[in-house]
Amino acid sequence: MSLFKRLLNPKKHSEDKAKALGKSSDRGKYYPEDKLPIDEKFTFNFKKNGGKFLYCENDAEVSEAFDNILAENDWYEKDTFCINELLTSKFQGYNLNFVKKANATFFLSTCESLVANNGSILLCSNQMKEKKLVELPSNIIIYATTSQFVENISEGLRNIKNSGGKFIPTNITTIQDFETDKEKDFMSYGSSTKNLYLLLLEDL
C-alpha cells in the first residue's frame, strides 16, 4: 500500500497487516500497533492531539490545500506572522499581509521535525526567533515534508545539532496540544494550545 493511502487510512492498513499475520483486531480500532511505520505513528498521534492533517503529493495540492484553509477561516488579507522568506514567496498570491510581529491572525512556518512517538511539531529559533510558544498566534499553519519524520524528540534534537554547524539554533520547543476547545486535565495545564494545520508534502 502506498504512503499516500496508508496516511489517509492508517486503520485500514493496520487491519490488512493484522489479517496477513493472522491476528485479531481485539485491541480496539483506535489503538496503534506496537511497531507502526514512522509516518503512520506520527499521523495517529498528531490526529489524537487534535491536529488538522493535509497530505499533498505535489506543490499544486499544497497551494489548493492552503487556499482551502484560508477560505475556511476567512484569513484572506489578514496579518500573517512569517519570518521565512521562502514561504512568503511561495504563498505570496493570497492577499496576505506578511509581518514580522507575533500579534497576527496566524503563524505560517516550516518546522525542524515531525515527532512520531507523540505527534508533536519540533520548532526552534530558525522558525520563531526568540519568541515563546505562548507569544505565537493561536492559529498556525506548518509546511513540512515527509523527509522530516523522526521517531522521537532526541532524534530531532540531533538533527538540529548536526545541521547547525558552529551556530546551533536555540529556543527549541515542541507543539503538541492542538485542540483548543477540549477540556483540560492536570497534564495539560501550562501548555500552550494551538489551532494547527499541517501541510505535508511528499518528497520521498
Tell me, yes or no, whether 84 lies in a domain: yes
Number of domains in the chain: 1
Exposure on the CB side of residue 113, measured as CA atoms within 13 A: 24
Global pTM?
0.81
Which CATH number is 121's domain given?
3.40.50.10420
Tell me, yes or no, whether 142 lies in a domain: yes
Classify burial at 128, counting beta carbons within 10 Å of its beta carbon; exposed 0-12, middle 13-18, buried 19 or more.
buried
Complete DSSP assignment for 2-17? -HHHHHH-HHHHHHHH
pLDDT values of the chain reduced to their tens digit, one per residue, 204 residues: 444 444 455 455 555 544 444 444 444 555 555 578 999 999 999 999 999 999 999 999 999 999 999 999 999 999 999 999 999 999 999 999 999 999 999 999 999 999 999 999 999 999 999 999 999 999 999 999 999 999 999 999 999 988 877 778 889 999 998 875 555 443 344 457 899 999 999 998
Tell me, yes or no, whether 36 lies in a domain: no
Q: Which of 164, 159, 194 is nearest to 176 (CA)?
A: 194
Tell me, yes or no, whether 148 lies in a domain: yes
Domain that holds residue 160: 49-180+190-201
Distance of CA 47 to the CA centre of its chain: 10
Tell me, yes or no, whether 146 lies in a domain: yes
Express the helix, strand and coil content of the chain in percent, nearest 5 each: 35, 20, 45
Tell me, yes or no, whether 35 lies in a domain: no
Tell me, yes or no, whether 72 lies in a domain: yes
Tell me, yes or no, whether 25 lies in a domain: no
